[in-house]
Amino acid sequence: RVRAMHADGMVGAWATSQANFSVGLPGDLNCDGVADIFDIDAFVLAITSPADYDAEYPACSRALADCNGDGAADVFDIGAFVDIVTGI
């Protein structure tokens, strides 16, 4: 069940909804708990060959490659991924 909070602080009614959540650190594509240079190969695999990524990292979520937060793991995440990995 989810409940929305509006910008004015008012809380909406409870609603039942199905949602998929990714738990983890954006950019941590090898799921070792740190987003760093050791995630580069996994990131490239996630955006270029999703099936291979899923096979190589079955306990991880490709959604962690969505580093720019637009809802898609694709080449548009490269800049944000570099910022995360380099600490910018």
What SS3 class is residue 78? helix
How confident is the prediction along the chain (88 residues), in pLDDT tens digits per residue?
565 666 676 676 666 666 555 568 999 999 999 999 999 999 999 999 999 999 999 999 999 999 999 999 999 999 999 999 999 7
CA–CA distance, 79 with 65 (Å, rounded to integer): 11
Angle between helices 40-48 and 78-86 (to 10 degrees): 170
* Predicted pLDDT of residue 46: 97
Q: Which residues contact 49 (CB under 8 A, 6 or more apart)?
A: none
